[in-house]
Every structure is written in C-alpha cells, then in structure tokens.
Chains A and B, each alone.
Chain A
C-alpha cells in the first residue's frame, strides 16, 4: 500500500507513526509545506520568550520520519488531488501516487479586514516562522498590541510580557476567551494576566494599523490611538479545506467526514483542524482546533486507512487546558449557555476566590465543565461528558471534594480493569466471624 499524508503537524505525524506500526510493508509519503520536523504549534509562544529551546518543540524525535522510514517532502505544497488517477500533484510539479490519502492540512490564521496588515511589525502567531519573527523583533520593541483574546492571542501576550514588553490586548467581545470560558472564569484569568502587567481592552476592535514602513500605532473603533511597534493578529483560524473542495469532496465550513473519518471518496481520509466533527456535548457539527482531537482523529483515520473499521465517537469540540500565569483553567464541552432556563440545561457551580467550578447538565448527563484554579480530577468529569454517563444518582454530590472515579468503578472507559475480585474468605474478618457463629463456635 502507498499511503500519502498531507501535513506533518499533530495529525500528520501521528498518522505516519501509526501507519508505520500497522502496516510494515507499506510506503508512506509525507508532504509538508513547512521545513521543520514535526513541531508543537501550541508551544511556539514558549519558544518565543525563551522558556523552551527550539529542540524542545519537536514532539517526536528530530529524525522521526527517517526512523519510521517515511519519505518526507518538506517545503512542498500540495496543489491538486487527481482522484481518478489517484495522484497528488504538488506545486513543484511533483506527482505522488497514492492508494490511501490522508488530508491533514490543518488551519491557517484568519485576518480581519483592516488597513496596514502589510506593514513590517505585523504578524500572526501560528507557525515556528512566526515565533522566530517575534523572537527576532522583540529586541527593539517596547510596546505591542495583540488583536484577539483567544488562546493564541493570550499566549502571545503572555510571552511578550515575559520579554519585558508592554502589551495591550484588544478584544471585540465583552470577555477574554469568549469561546471557552464564561464571564466569571474569564474575569479570574483576566485578573491573573493583569497582575503581570498585561492591559486588556474589551468591547473594542481595530480599524487600522498605522505607520509608514513599520508600525507606529493602531487606531481603534473608538478613534483612540494606541502606540506600539509590534502587532500580533490572533483573530481566529480557518480550516484549509480548499484542496478537498477543488477535488470535489464534500465540504462545509471544514472537510466533511463520516464516523470512520472517511471523506466522500473512499480512498481519502481527513483528520485534524481541517475537518468538522460531530460534538457529543452539543449534538451539533462543529469545527475543532485542538491538539488532542487532531491526534485522536489521526489514530482512528490511520487504522481505517490500513483496512480497519474503527468508529471515531465521543468527540468534543471545545477541550482546552491552559495556564498563562499562575491560575490553571480547563474548559470542556458545552460551557456557554445563553439562557440557563432554556432547553433544559441546568448549571451547578461553586466559586470562592480564584477557585471556580461549573458543570452544565442536560437530561441527567453532564455536557460541559469549566474548572478554574483547581483542576484536579477534571479528566474524570471530561470522561463522563465524553461517554455520556448518567449521573442522576449523584446529582447533589457532583462538585463535592470527594466525588471521584470511585463512584463509577464499573465504568472502565475502554481500558484494563485493575480491580481484582477475590474469594470472600480473603476479604474481611467479618466473613470468618459469621461462619464461626454459624458453626456455633464462641457461643
């Protein structure tokens, strides 16, 4: 079999590794636009501010492709899929034949429609190249503006602040992390960042970036000017679905796949940020741009490419863990409800100081959680959401300190069971006492 993988980030690298192990006689070809070994996109802010070295970003080993016997085509952009001839045509006119193709093209940053995006000192924050740009230019930068207070924006803001730059974050919504957190949680995280010196301006958007060659300042919708030499645009991402679209595969906002991660062509699979998934927590089809989902999808997709039939279920679109400064936070599943009384949603929460825990329930099942400050055991709650476990029996205990996996011992979540049943006589002395009484000993 000839497997061709487009993309070498989370999904692409994982799929290459799995396919190597599954099908030893196969030929695997990876096509990647970038020129690096697989690196972790989520960690580039830690490289930019010097917390990590470049070598720490490689989440597989540096010679990973060579070790797996994978043919790598770096700096190569896939241009067209010829489905009839089962060929992938690259921009450098190279043609690669495939038996099974995996599209893991990921996503690209989305830019707002404002003036001055072409000035030097304006960058997005999506790839290692961007991190290099940030690390290089910080030496002469004193003030910076970050547009967008999502994860990428705040990671960038935190990294720049650590480098001693005065950072202003401009966010269109009325809170930071508007897709992941509710207002209480976002306030806690915002305060944590502000303590460090980051300035956050909410309900505000940029209308232009001004300067002659490099940035001089930015103008907001309020006609206020913020002086800065550096602007990071982090206003979201958009899936790279064009390749699939031009090949005539079904797409909507992202590439559409069935539960086996197969596209509308039986020889073409897709995984990662470029696809849409069926979210169990909301019941809707959604885009998902998280590392965890990309890796899981790649695992299932590669099994199915190698001839297996593994269903990819229990997907959740929003699953994020984060700690910018001192307060960790986790958000999982459906955390945002416009009106609590509508649609049968119920919310339980506790809040004291910097610790905030919230669960969203619907029909005896948990469908979303936000944990801030204390994130222990959050994975257990996440599993309850993923597996749609009925929690009605323990409704009033859900946020107790001692609520734990012990309550669901019989749920093994698909893994080995470590609990051994032993003969009752081994268990407790009570058993022996009862037997003794039966036999009339001691009476």
Chain B
C-alpha cells in the first residue's frame, strides 16, 4: 500500500503541490483554465504554517478512518486492496452532508458546492485526497521541487 510521506524539514512552502492538486482534479487539467470554469478548483493537500515554518497537512488514508464511519451515504470507503480512502467511484454517491468534514481530525476534507445550480443536479460534494487514481504517482509528489512528498510503500 502506498501512502504520502512528508519530509517536513525540506519543505520551503512553495505550494506547488496545492496547484498541482487543483489542476489534476479540475476538468480542464489546467490551472488557469480551471479558475475560469465552475466549480472553483480546490486543493486537497494543504500547506499550513506554524512559527513561520511551512507544514504540509496531508490525508493519511487512516487505518480506521473516521470519515468512513461518519458517512451516512456509504460512499466514503476504504479500499481493501490499496487502502485508499475515497468517496468517488462507488455504488453510492456523495450527497454533500458534510459529516466527513466534521469527522476528519486533520481537517483535510473540504466542501464543494455550486450555489448557482439547484435541482437534481445541484453539485455538492466532499473533496478529499484520492491519491490521483489516473496517475502512477500523485500529482503533488511529481510537482514538489524539493522532494518533500513521497509516495512510499508501507505495511499496515
């Protein structure tokens, strides 16, 4: 199973991982174009700061994920093989109840909703790290110039 590991001391706080994440998860696959469209692109990895030092906060794809327990639609699931916790691509769909956001102790799940749209197609979805299923290595790892992030094989 692969997990994102962070070498904290090396991070310079350039936030390229955030940009790469937004880009990867936008329909346009391009940051500039994505900002023009809707919904507004949002990152799923967060470079926070403490005492003037940057600190990336990432989803850990927990062994006992609270977001999965909290999900009332049953769409947040932990893949038994890869161990990736994700709310997309399952039989059930995310309804935007925001319970996972309330449950995640690291604060790395964010709401996304389009207020302009209403009705059946109203877009409301919780966004979280999905480990970039379309890529071999997550976009943030590729984008990091300082080799802070690493997709490392770990044993659970």
Tell whether A323 pairs with B106 under 8 Å between CB atoms, given A61-B91, A416-B62.
Answer: no
Is the Cβ of B6 less than 8 Å from the Cβ of A419?
Answer: yes
With an 8 A cutoff between CB atoms, is B63 at the interface? yes
With an 8 A cutoff between CB atoms, is A36 at the interface? no
A-B pair count, CB < 8 Å, reads 156
Is the Cβ of A419 less than 8 Å from the Cβ of B8?
Answer: yes
Is the Cβ of A332 less than 8 Å from the Cβ of B102?
Answer: yes
Output the least CB separation between B59 and chain A (Å): 9
Residue from the set B5, B48, B49, B110 with the largest chain A CB neighbour count within 10 Å: B48
Is the Cβ of A379 less than 8 Å from the Cβ of B92?
Answer: no
User: Chain B 58-89, CB within 8 Å of chain A: the 1/0 string?
Assistant: 10101110100111111000000000000000
Give which listed residue, A50, A402, A428, contacts B9 with CB less than 8 A.
A428
A332 to B97, CA, bound (A): 15
Give which listed residue, A42, A413, A418, contacts B97 with CB less than 8 A.
A42
With an 8 A cutoff between CB atoms, is A87 at the interface? no
The segment out of A234-242, A256-264, A288-296 that lies at the interface is A288-296
Is the Cβ of A379 less than 8 Å from the Cβ of B105?
Answer: yes
- By a CB distance below 8 angstroms, the chain B residues around A424 are 9
Secondary structure type dominating chain A contacts: mixed
A50 to B9, CA, bound (A): 51
Is the Cβ of B92 less than 8 Å from the Cβ of A58?
Answer: yes
Give which listed residue, A58, A296, A322, A415, contacts B74 with CB less than 8 A.
A58
Output the least CB separation between A185 and chain B (Å): 15
Is the Cβ of A382 less than 8 Å from the Cβ of B10?
Answer: no
A357 to B103, CA, bound (A): 17
Output the least CB separation between B90 and chain A (Å): 10
A267 to B73, CA, bound (A): 31
A8 to B124, CA, bound (A): 28
Output the least CB separation between A6 and chain B (Å): 21
Q: How many residues of A contact B (CB 8 A)?
A: 55
The segment out of A175-183, A244-252, A370-378 that lies at the interface is A370-378
Is the Cβ of A291 less than 8 Å from the Cβ of B99?
Answer: yes
With an 8 A cutoff between CB atoms, is A150 at the interface? no
Is the Cβ of A60 less than 8 Å from the Cβ of B102?
Answer: no
Is the Cβ of B98 less than 8 Å from the Cβ of A330?
Answer: yes
- By a CB distance below 8 angstroms, the chain A residues around B37 are none
Output the least CB separation between A236 and chain B (Å): 19
- By a CB distance below 8 angstroms, the chain B residues around A413 are 105-106
With an 8 A cutoff between CB atoms, is A407 at the interface? yes
Output the least CB separation between A318 and chain B (Å): 11
With an 8 A cutoff between CB atoms, is A52 at the interface? yes
Output the least CB separation between A105 and chain B (Å): 19
Is the Cβ of A291 less than 8 Å from the Cβ of B10?
Answer: no
Is the Cβ of A422 less than 8 Å from the Cβ of B7?
Answer: yes
Is the Cβ of B106 less than 8 Å from the Cβ of A379?
Answer: yes
Is the Cβ of A418 less than 8 Å from the Cβ of B60?
Answer: yes
Give which listed residue, A323, A328, A406, contacts B50 with CB less than 8 A.
A406
Counting from the closest, the 7 A-B pairs by CB-CB distance are A59-B74, A383-B105, A377-B107, A427-B9, A380-B107, A379-B104, A406-B48
Q: List 19 A-B contacts (CB under 8 A).
A: A40-B73, A40-B74, A51-B120, A59-B73, A321-B97, A332-B102, A378-B101, A378-B102, A380-B105, A382-B102, A386-B105, A404-B57, A415-B105, A416-B3, A416-B154, A418-B58, A419-B5, A420-B7, A422-B9
